Amino acid sequence: MTTIASSSTVTKPLVSAFRPLQEALAPYADLMVRAAAGLFLMPHGAQKLFGLFGGYGVAATGQFFESKLGLPAHMALIAGLIEFFGGLALATGFATRIAAGFVTGMMAVAVLTVHLHNGFFWTDLGYEYPLLWGILSFSYVIRGGGRKSIDALIGWEI
């Protein structure tokens, strides 16, 4: 016997008792991932910009970028702005493709200039983590914010 999928994108769950939960949450899956991605980026920006969450603020982070990473000090401000406000834009789905493009670019710079020489694993300060963020954000460059976003609410591209 074959199961024909309905117009819903929900497939048959492994445990049929989970079907109502799966059907109820499926429309929110994209929103959950996009919001989590944005909200997880924001504290990194808050560390760089405001010295919150154990961060050092723009000046000290800029000194670290210059002395330890060989990057210009102003890159700390740029990275902080992208992480904080780009994260906020991703979380809310506002100007999603633009914000995600900035995050993708920043992560590409992080991978190529800071982490690549450390190998793959994040535990050795490798490129695993920023590459994952870059791929995740690039998916939103391609797809946009989705149906449950401010972009969709105001009629911008989805």
Rounded to 5 degrees, φ, ψ at 46 are -65, -35
Q: What is the pLDDT of residue 8?
A: 53
Residue ranges in the chain whose pLDDT is less than 50: 1, 4-6
Q: What is the pLDDT of residue 105?
A: 98
What sign results for the dihedral spanned by CA atoms 122, 124, 125, 127? negative
Q: Distance from first CA to last CA of the chain, Å, rounded?
A: 38
3-state secondary structure of 6: coil
Q: What is the pLDDT of residue 158?
A: 65
The residues, any chain, with a CB within 8 Å of residue 72's CB and separated by 6 or more, are 65, 66
